[in-house]
Amino acid sequence: MFSFIAVIILIGVFCVLFRAVKGPTIFDRVLSVNLIGTKAVVVIALIGFMHGRPEFMDIALTYALINFIGTIAFLKYIEKNKLD
């Protein structure tokens, strides 16, 4: 049951990846990367349930934090052309 849900989410990841490759502006690409990160957190949690390994939840939590920080940092770099 978990693998079926993971496959559905991976189909969604490929749909978003199409937009990330095609996207006319850079903001489309940033938004696509943010969405792929959210889906990756869910898929990591589902894989941890599938294989019975609870330490995957720590990896999912770290991935969620890094995803948010990365999006904000990239937007700041686009707006101001520097990161300090």
Partner 1 sequence: MTILDVITLILLLAGSFFMLVASIGMIRLPDFYTRMHAGGKADTLGQGLIFLALIIYEGFTLISLKMLIIFAFIFIANPTATHAVAKAAYKGGLKIWSRDKNDSS
Binding site for partner 1 (CB under 8 A): 1-2, 5, 8-9, 11-13, 15-16, 18-19, 24-25, 27-28, 30-32, 34-35, 38-39, 41-42, 45-46, 49, 54, 57-58, 60-61, 64-65, 68, 71-72, 75, 78-79
* Contact assessment for residue 12 and residue 39, using Cβ atoms and an 8 Å cutoff: yes
| Residue with the two structure tokens 């991935």 | 63
C-alpha to C-alpha distance for 7 and 26, rounded to whole angstroms: 28
Q: Cβ closer to partner 1: 54 or 82?
A: 54
DSSP state of 34: H
Q: Least Å distance between CB 16 and partner 1?
A: 5
